[in-house]
Amino acid sequence: MSSQPRRPSAAYRYLFMALLGLLVGIIATVMIGRALQARRDPFPHSLMHVMAKQTEMLQASQQANRCTVSDALPRLQSLRALSDDLEVAFPSLRDDRRFAEHARNLRSVLDPAVSAPPSECAALATLNTRIGESCKACHQDFR
């Protein structure tokens, strides 16, 4: 009896091709994702993140009983300056009457607060509530 040499199994070739296809698919997916991401304008998302962070820091000051003018004023000034860019950040909503009203309402909350910043925690808590309500009203309509 003569034994014939065994031919190597094709399973390794199939496994290699499957892994190669998976790798190429992952690379293509990442490339397409990056291309789509590059087309998006990061400004609106970034503006909302910075405004949220400034609001969080203002609330943290109040919760830590650090309610002096020097603690609140820089945050309020930043929020007021950022609120000027709302229409620029969302050009598709610029002509929407409700959006313009929400932006005006936020500025009307921030303007007196920048002019006469709260110097006690009760006033800062009230201001934080009003800022939060202004943001929430806009987000309910446009998010």
CATH class of 43-142: mainly alpha
Q: What is the pLDDT of residues 85-99, one digit of tens each?
A: 999 999 999 889 999
Per the structure block, which two tokens stand in for 118? 């709260």
Q: What's this model's pTM, rounded to 2 decimal places? A: 0.74
Domain locations along the chain:
9-40, 43-142
Q: What is the pLDDT of residues 103-116, one digit of tens each?
A: 999 999 999 999 99
Q: Could you tell me if residue 65 is left (phi over 0), alpha (psi between -120 and 50 degrees) or otherwise beta?
A: left
